[in-house]
Amino acid sequence: MRADGPRLATWLLLGPALLWLVLLIVLPHVDMLLVSLRLRAGFGQYQTSAVHYLAFFTEPLYWRTFMRTAVMSILATFLTLVIAFPVAWYIAKMVRGRVRSLLFLACLVPFWVSELVRTYGWMILLRETGVVSGFLQWSGLASGPVEMLYNDVAVMVGLVYASMLFMVVPLVTTLDSLDDSLIEAAYDLGGNAWSVLREIVIPFAMPGIVSGCIVVFMLSLGNYLTPVLLGGKDSMWFTEQIFTQFIVRFNWEQGAAFGVLLLVLSSLIVWLGLKLTRQSFTEVMR
Amino acid sequence: MVVLPAAVALVWPVVASADELRLLTWGGYAPDEVVQAFEKETGIKVLVTLSNNEDMISKLRATGGAGFDLAQPSQDRITSAQQEFNIYKPIEFTKINQAQIIDSMLAATRKNTAIGDEVFGVPHIWGTSGLVVNRSVAERVKDWTDLCGPDLVGKVSYRMRRPILIGMAFAMGENPFEAYADVPRYERMMEKVGETLVACKPNVKAYWSGGDELINLVSSGEVVAAEGWDAGGWKLHDEKPEISFVAPASGALGWIDTFALPRRGKNEEAAYKWINFVMKPEIAAQITRSAGNFSASKGAEAFVDERLKANYQASFDQAAIDNIRWYPPVPAGLEAIEGRILDRVQAAR
């Protein structure tokens, strides 16, 4: 009886999380996989087929859209890292106490409103009759209305803005645990700012950098609102394809196949990234 | 053991109580005042979910026709969705006060939403798709193809959905509705329309997807000519007189939104009560005021305000009314062709 006690407790504690995982994540994915493998042969008639996966590889449109989404997401991840690293360094090392909390808060505040509202905010700023265009005309820097919306740069700005917090937080956490005396010692041994950054800081912060990059990459890849609203007529984001297949075309089979492919291919890219930077997943997620 | 029932209770769908009507409809079709009046008269609470044609079919397909007691798809989208997904149940016309409905529209909808002897739709609101045009270019934009005219680079918007394909085909001298029955011919026609739309892409500022987006683009003056609904155009006209709705020379595209009963709806009685309630002329006029479109209710025009009537008459003279192209039911399968063309246009650079 007594021996069963702790085991039962463990299961009870795990129960809600396991149920959540199985009912809301594993089962839907299995169902999606099954849906993606069937072909609608007639009214209410189905047969098993891989034709929807073939469509992805044979129709250049889908393949190109995915590649474009992946490349843009990788670029967004890189830009986010470059911008977030100094910010995280400043928060972790340069300031203390109230200022530090305030800076953290400043990173957090934009996330108090929904993504939709934030994206509309960018639209108000960037559109032809928007704030930035108006300011440029008022200040005489531009002679006519300037359109800054509906292009890839606008999408990139939106993506970086939307994922900044998810890069800053893991970076601050790892940089925080970096002992200042290590940096001092490096300088004492004749290092300069660049070599200290390269030899001491970046290797130490690598787990934080990689976990931040994984989160930002996945968020960008799976983003729907930002590319669609800011990208305009050429946005071409892969999640948009999935949405279109499911909701507009009623082609659940094709949409499900795209969903599975997105999951597999993005996992593959993350795995490749880990291999290239020689990080192990368990190390990064610790 | 304790956790399981609790989790099941969480996941279990909320069971509709007897005095509730779950309505799946368009923005403006169930204004608060009408919902309140209905609740007062019948004691039935109305839960409104706003939607559009594709979303309605998707929602009902996901549940096999459960979750709602009454839906409002357009009449041309009912039979193919019913054949493919079996999401509706037939209407019992004895439960409907047919004297309240304009006879010709009732007959047309009965014909267009029938599968065998069973009829799946009752007409409610009708309207058209056409061109929303700024006065500055009104001389040059009179038909769908004029959206692709010179000097409109970056000044045009439309929705990447069926209407622009159909409209373009008509303006190019084709008749897509006649080609519905002839799939290869329809496909060739759509290929041609697709090429036109690819060539037209430099003119497009952005494709709009929701009504608010269209209103933003047009009222800010960033877009001077767009594909849009008549009601949207009239709403814009009330705010900015230089914008108006124009029926294209090759004919505005006419649609009729209907009432249809989801197959596994729980409260059929309430659904029939709602239909009979909102088709009363004075209630129908209230809905016309909020939706901006006219209804199939007999005698409702008498209660509609003068401004809306004036807008309507400015856009449609008798010839334009006679020229409206009413959507016939879409055969299953055509939308896959259209989807492919739209994808290709979207991907073109």
B-chain CB neighbours of A19 within 8 Å are 3-4, 7
Percent composition of chain A: helix, strand, coil (DSSP 3-state, to 5): 80, 5, 20
pTM: 0.83
Q: Which residues contact B13 (CB under 8 A, 6 or more apart)?
A: B66, B67
- CA–CA separation, B103 vs B111, rounded Å? 12
Burial class (CB in 10 A: 0-12, 13-18, 19+), B120: buried
Q: What is the structure's pLDDT at A46?
A: 81
Residue B94 lies in a domain: yes
Interface contacts A/B by beta carbons within 8 Å: 67
- CA–CA separation, B284 vs B298, rounded Å? 9
B58 and A234 within 8 Å at the Cβ level: the answer is: no
Q: What is the structure's pLDDT at B195?
A: 96
Are B275 and B122 in contact, with CB atoms under 8 Å apart? yes
Residue B324 lies in a domain: no
Give the type of residue at A205. A
Residues B144 and B79 in one domain: no
Contact residues, chain A to chain B, C-beta under 8 Å: 12, 15-16, 19, 23, 43-44, 61, 64-65, 127-129, 147, 149-150, 228, 232-234, 236, 244, 246-252
Chain A residue closest in CA terms to B338: A249
CA distance A40 to chain B (A): 10
SS3 call for B252: coil
Residues B12 and B93 in one domain: yes
CATH topology of domain A60-285: MetI-like fold (1.10.3720)
Q: What is the ipTM of this complex?
A: 0.76
- CA–CA separation, A285 vs A44, rounded Å? 45
Tokens linked to B342: 């739209």
User: What is the average per-residue pLDDT within B39-50?
Assistant: 94
* pLDDT exceeds cutoff 90 at B31: yes
Are A142 and A135 in contact, with CB atoms under 8 Å apart? no
Q: What is the structure's pLDDT at A88?
A: 94
User: What is the average per-residue pLDDT within B234-256?
Assistant: 94
A233 and B154 within 8 Å at the Cβ level: the answer is: no
Mutate to test the interface with B, among A117, A224, A233 (most CBs of B within 10 A): A233
* pLDDT exceeds cutoff 60 at B15: no
Residues B233 and B291 in one domain: no
CA distances from A108 to A89, A105, A169, A256 (A): 17, 5, 10, 34
- CA–CA separation, A150 vs A120, rounded Å? 13
Minimum-distance CB partner of A236 among B4, B344, B346? B346
Minimum-distance CB partner of A249 among B84, B339, B346? B339
Residue B286's pLDDT band (cuts 50, 70, 90): very high
Chain A residue closest in CA terms to B344: A61
Minimum-distance CB partner of A15 among B3, B55, B220? B3
Residues B175 and B222 in one domain: yes
Q: What is the structure's pLDDT at B141?
A: 94
Q: What is the structure's pLDDT at B5?
A: 44
Residues B162 and B234 in one domain: yes
Minimum-distance CB partner of A233 among B4, B207, B222? B207
* pLDDT tens figures, B109-152: 999 999 999 999 999 999 999 999 999 998 899 999 999 998 89
Burial class (CB in 10 A: 0-12, 13-18, 19+), B198: middle
Residues B232 and B264 in one domain: no
Residues B234 and B341 in one domain: yes
Residues B203 and B336 in one domain: yes
Residues B41 and B78 in one domain: yes
- CA–CA separation, A175 vs A262, rounded Å? 32
CATH number, domain with residue B232:
3.40.190.10
CA distance B247 to chain A (A): 25
Minimum-distance CB partner of A232 among B55, B206, B344? B206
Q: Which ranges of chain B would DSSP assign to H, the alpha helix?
A: 3-11, 32-42, 53-63, 78-85, 103-112, 162-171, 176-179, 183-199, 211-219, 230-239, 268-278, 281-291, 306-315, 318-322, 334-347
Q: Which residues contact A136 (CB under 8 A, 6 or more apart)?
A: A142, A146
A236 and B84 within 8 Å at the Cβ level: the answer is: no
B-chain CB neighbours of A149 within 8 Å are 206
Calculate the average pLDDT of chain B.
Answer: 90
Q: What is the structure's pLDDT at A3?
A: 55
Minimum-distance CB partner of A19 among B7, B61, B336? B7
CA distance B224 to chain A (A): 13
Give domain limits for chain A: 60-285
Q: Which residue has the higher pLDDT, A56 or B301?
A: A56
CA distances from A127 to A110, A208, A231, A265, B223 (A): 20, 36, 12, 34, 12
Q: What is the structure's pLDDT at B123?
A: 96
A-chain CB neighbours of B202 within 8 Å are none
* pLDDT exceeds cutoff 80 at B6: no
* pLDDT tens figures, B78-94: 998 998 889 999 999 99
Residue B294 structural domain = 6-120+255-315
Query: Which residues in chain A show pLDDT less than 50?
Result: 1
Q: What is the structure's pLDDT at B4?
A: 42
